Amino acid sequence: MGFDQYHEPPEELPPATRTFARLCASLTEESEALGWYEQRIAVETDPEALAIMRDAQGEEFKHFSMDLEFLMRRTPRWREIAQGVLFQTGDIVEHGEEAEAESADGGGAGAEGGDVDGSLGIGSLRGDAR
């Protein structure tokens, strides 16, 4: 139960991937909670209970956003696509298709490097120290 976030044997996964999987699981839980609060708020009539649930949902917005930011910092291609979609006006699907296409053109391994900025994507190695 406690290790359900792993799809592959955990001992075969590098520390950075295990951290990534944990945060993905956390992101899922936060978005579930957001949906639950939205439904509860929609049917609740007691103003005091409503205020508490709105406050709680605000916490989940924060948690979801922090998880998302962490994951995108560690996943440059995700970040690049998200930058083309998030906080934009206009057609969401169109932005998504464009961002994905631009990322596929410019990102990935090869001449433009394994990371969106062309770097080696090494970053922090805190999890690697033993």
Residues found near another protein in the complex (CB under 8 A): 109-115, 117-126, 128-130
Q: C-beta of 22: minimal distance to another protein in Å?
A: 18
Q: C-beta of 69: minimal distance to another protein in Å?
A: 13
Alpha-carbon distances, residue 94 vs 47, 77, 84, 112, 119 (angstroms): 40, 18, 10, 24, 28
Sequence letter at residue 86 = L
Q: Which is nearer to another protein, 42 or 129 (CB)?
A: 129
Q: C-beta of 17: minimal distance to another protein in Å?
A: 14
Q: Which is nearer to another protein, 50 or 104 (CB)?
A: 104
Distance of CA 75 to the CA centre of its chain: 9
Phi and psi for 122 in degrees, rounded to 5? -80, -50
Q: Which is nearer to another protein, 53 or 72 (CB)?
A: 72
